Every structure is written in structure tokens, then in C-alpha cells.
Chain A
Amino acid sequence: MAIDGRQFSLKELMVCQAARQLRDGEAVFVGIGLPNLACNLARRRHAPKLVLIYESGAVGAAPQRLPISIGDPSLVTDSLGVFSMFDVFSFYLQGGLIDVGFLQGVQIDRFGNLNTTVIGDYRHPKVRLPGSGGACEIAILAKRVLVIAPQSKRSFPERVDFITSPGFIDGPEGRRRLGLPGGGPVMVITNLGCYEFAGGEMVLTSLHPGCTVEQVRDNTGWEVRISSQLTTTEIPNDEELRIIRDLDPAQLFSG
């Protein structure tokens, strides 16, 4: 899309929006793809002391190329440290050191629960998905969770077919009732807009340029709440675009 003479892709907009949620000095559990771009953008721009932690064991990673997998060798070279996966999950994540966890979902519901396990019945699935990986524990233990997900009626059902990674489970008291240590999801960024959470439920707070509330309603499987202060998502600035294109010159993830 082009706005104010600036050309950018929808994914670049999503990456910028995700990066802006990260604060300097925080420890962030990074996933591959758009989350990785967002974290590296934040580190090169407004959060130079952001500590990038990958479940593969790299801590304080400073990748000089775009990692294709979560265990790319470039995450090791010049990182602050490399730890066992036991250390990463026990001491960093369960130890309460992770400020932000990034998750992606195939399905997400109104309470921010994520499904990456199966579509349909678990024993006889319509589609078998990869499973949890580290997502379940990140959702439970990170202080806050950011979600990047493509939005359609199928991927935004009222209830996910399988809760791989709990959000607010069934409402405002869901996490507290079960004693989950982390704070749960704070923002969901889709191809249409951004959602924040109120009373454990997703509320549309910004629409991407050119998107409409009607489009959002058509692509959501429940009666979606709309914020009374609905805004338009801030578009990427020149500096952000320059850094993203430097990080992902072939537009492998951002195109």
C-alpha cells in the first residue's frame, strides 16, 4: 500500500506495530518470521538494550543475517550466551525473567487462546498442526504475550478447537483461577487491525489503513467488541522501513 507517498507492505506495518510494543531493556522470547523481524527492528531502533532470547538457547542474540529457523547458527555468533534448553525454560521463562513472549497461532479465539495442535477432533483431526513447541509455556509464564496472526472467520472462531496455549481461557478470571504466573496476551496484531484485551476479551483498538469495521466483523467468528476510541494503526516511518528492508532484503517474511 502507499500512504503519504510512502510504499510499504501490510506485513511491514504489522512488524512495526509489534516492534513498538517492546521497551528498551526488556527480555523477549523471540519466534521466527515476523516476530524475529519485529524484535530486531526494535533492537536497532528504539530498544538497543533489548535482550533477544531464543528457545534454542541463544541469549542476547545479535544475528547478522535473517535466521530461517529458530536454531540458526547466526543466533550463536556474537550472542551474550548460549544456554541449555533446560536453563532457558526453567531459569529464564519459569524463573520469571521473560517480559514479552511472541506467539503465532493458526486459530485464536475471543479470549486469546491459541491453537497450533489440530483443526477438528484431536483423535481424528481435519488438519494436524505442528503442536506446542515452546508456545504453551510461553503463554503461561511470560509477563505479557504479543500475538501475530492472520485473520479470517476460520482462524478467528468463537472457541478454538484445541487450546495449545492459554490466553484468558474463558473470561476475566480464567488465568487467576488457575494461578497462571504470566500476564497473558496484551495485543493481537492481524492483517486487519490490532486488538487489546479488556476483561480477558479481545477488543479492536486500531484498524490498519484502508480496513473497515465491517471487514473485521466479516472475518471474526463472534460478535467482536470495538473500542470507543478506535484509531488507525500508525504507518511505518522511513527509518523503520529502512531497517526492515536491511534485515529482510529478499522480503522473505516482510513481503
Chain B
Amino acid sequence: MNEAIRRFVHDGDVIVIEGFTHLICFAAAHEIIRQRRRDLTLCRLTPDLIYDQLIGAGCARRLVFSWAGNPGAGPLYALRRAVEQGIPNSIELEEYSHFGMVARLTAGAAKLPFYPLRNYFGSDLPRVNPSIKTIACPFTGEELSAVPALNPDIAIIHAQRADENGNAQIWGLIGVQKEAAFASRNTIVVAEELVAESVIRSDPNRTLIPGLIVSAVVHEPFGCHPSFAQGLYDRDNDFYVRWREISKDETLFNRYLEEWVYGVRDRGEYVSRMGAHIDRLKARPHYCEPVNYGY
């Protein structure tokens, strides 16, 4: 992880770490904080705790998003401190809706300049975000909204399993990871399990990210905690609730970073420090029926 972040995440980069609730790679964010990257433009539908931590640690200059809250547990206080008081630094906001963000990454992945949507009329979002524009359909003349392509410098995508070439398989919620990876100039795949290529080939429909677009592969078990990995470990909902208190207080926030980010060498040390707690999150087995790929 250390090497992947060092090589592919630079000060001032536009980055996307995706995963809608599921498979959010906190391990990568923590390494970015440890390497003290600055002036990043952070893109994500839901900034979630992961960007609250990056913002509070002073890594971000700009946030591109569509829903900024702690899901089920209130606001993101580090983000609010940055927006309202400029602590630790002020950040710019660029705001869409989920559909708008999904469409921006889809256009980016397809190398189109924009994406048309039947959306935003009647909403005040276009009034405060000049990048949401109205266009006329060249065939019917119908008025539509358009959002610009988003092409980040780097995407970081967490997968349940991948081979050494970065062919990555994800099951459960797949969010907008495929679009984010194809839209970005470089993609880092972080995998819970590193498997042989033959394992990937045994179930090709499950491959979401092809090795073709992957610049680095990192093996990082429990790399998503407090987010989850379907079939491996559950979301740590208690931590999400606790984060409300941690992020509300700047001192507690900084203490958290000292203990769990700067205070550990890597994710391995984070996991061993968690001790038995991590075992309580382990998923119960719930296997699917096998399918026949033969002909």
C-alpha cells in the first residue's frame, strides 16, 4: 500500500475512492494521511467517514460529492469544520445529486465530454453549480440537463478478490466502482484476497475491473473496516455511531488520527490492534448455487 500510494497519489491530484457503503477502502485513505498528501480534489458520491478523515487531516482542497453525511448517524463534523471555519484548511464544494455523479463518471469512462439526464429541472442545484447545464436534444429538440465528464487522476477500488494482474472480482453492492475505474487515468485495486488467475477465470461474470486498466494491486485483508466486505465481514455500525462523537470534537478527532492512523505502521498493525473486535464482524456463510460455464 505504501508503495502504491507513493507512486500513484500526488499532491494536487483528483482522486476517487469509491464503494457505496460497501468496500470503502479506509486502508488507502489512512496511508494517504500518513504520507501527508495535500491539496487533493476528493470525488465520491458519499464522502462518508473516509473523506471526513482525509479532510480533517488536511489532505483536501476540494470536495466533489452528492450526499455528505454519516449514514444513519448525523453530519460529518470534520467536513463542517473545514467548510464553516476553515479548520484545518478551507475547502471548496462542488455538489451534484447521486445520478449526476454516476453520470459524470459514466461519461468519463466512455471518454465522452458530458452525459445527458432527465433531471434537475425545478431543483436549485443548477443555480449553485454552473457545471449542471441545459442542452437541447439534437434529434427532438427536447431540453435535457447535462453534467460534465469526470476523469480523476486515480481511482482506488477495493475488491473481495483479485489476481496479481489486477483482474478484480466484486460481489454484493457494486455501486459506481466500474465507472470510476474506467474513468480514471490510473487505478489501484486493493484486494481482501490475492488469488490465482485460474480462480478469476473460473467465474468470469464476476470480474468488475479488468487488469487491463489497473496500475497497482495491493493485498490488504480487512482493508475496509469500518466499512464492510460482503461475505467476509460486516459493517461496524457501532463505529459509525461513535464517529459522531469523535469527529464533533477536534481534539478527539486528532487523537483518533494519532492512535489509529499515524500511530500504526500499516493496516496489518491496525487490524492486530483491533484484536478480538474484528472477529465479531466476520460474516456467516451464505453461499450461492454454483453455475455451469461449460459448453
Q: Which A positions have Cβ atoms within 8 angstroms of B?
A: 32-33, 55-58, 68-73, 75-77, 82-86, 89-90, 93-94, 113, 117, 122, 128, 130-137, 139-141, 162-166, 169, 174-175, 178-181
Contact = CB atoms under 8 A, between A and B. Distances in A.
B80 A86 contact: no
B247 to A, nearest CB: 14
B69 to A, nearest CB: 4
Interface string B37-54: 000000001100000000
Contacts of A89: 98-99, 102-103
B67 A140 contact: no
Contact of A165 (B123, B128, B234, B283): B123
Contacts of B71: 32, 68-71
Contacts of A137: 97-99, 117, 119
A71 B102 contact: no
Nearest to B76: A130
B176 interface: yes
30 contacts: A33-B72, A56-B21, A68-B237, A68-B240, A70-B21, A72-B21, A73-B228, A84-B174, A85-B98, A85-B175, A86-B179, A89-B102, A90-B102, A94-B119, A113-B122, A128-B68, A130-B67, A131-B65, A131-B67, A132-B125, A133-B67, A133-B98, A135-B97, A136-B120, A136-B125, A140-B121, A163-B124, A174-B122, A180-B122, A181-B118
A220 B289 CA distance: 55
Q: What 5 pairs across the A-B complex have the smallest Cβ distances?
A: A71-B21, A166-B122, A133-B67, A130-B69, A132-B97
Interface string B166-178: 0000011111101
A180 B75 contact: no
Contacts of A135: 97
Interface of B: 20-22, 45-46, 65-69, 71-72, 75, 80, 83-84, 95-99, 102-103, 106, 117-125, 128, 142-143, 171-176, 178-179, 228, 230, 234-235, 237, 240, 283, 286
Contacts of A139: 123
Contacts of A32: 71-72
A136 B118 CA distance: 11
A134 B101 CA distance: 10
Contacts of B80: 128
The secondary-structure label for the interface of chain A is loop
Nearest to A57: B173
